[in-house]
Amino acid sequence: MAHPTEEQIRKRAFELWEQAGKPEGREDEFWQQAQRELQSAEESGDPNKGADI
């Protein structure tokens, strides 16, 4: 089973952070959420999530 790359996680975490209004001190929260989303997308075979943007 493949895992999301660090770059994919970084990009998604940044998107989540921006969408949340760029709050300070919540980096770990967004990183973990991005990991979960991308891993779930890979496991379900969703070609639109987890792709490099």
What are the tens digits of pLDDT across the range 8-24?
999 999 999 999 999 99
- Helices marked H in 6-47 — which ranges? 6-19, 27-44
Q: How many domains does the chain have?
A: 1
49 domain-assigned: no
Q: How far apart are CA 8 and CA 12, in angstroms?
A: 6
Q: Measuring CA to CA, how many Å separate 3 from each of 6, 19, 25?
A: 9, 24, 26
32 domain-assigned: yes
pLDDT number for residue 17: 97
Q: Is the pLDDT of residue 51 over 70?
A: no
51 domain-assigned: no
Please state, for a pLDDT cut of 90, what percent of the chain lies above it. Answer: 70
Domain of residue 37, residue span:
6-19+27-43
Mean pLDDT of 30-43: 94
34 in Cβ contact with 12 (< 8 Å): yes
Token pair, residue 35, equals 């990991």
pLDDT number for residue 53: 45
14 domain-assigned: yes
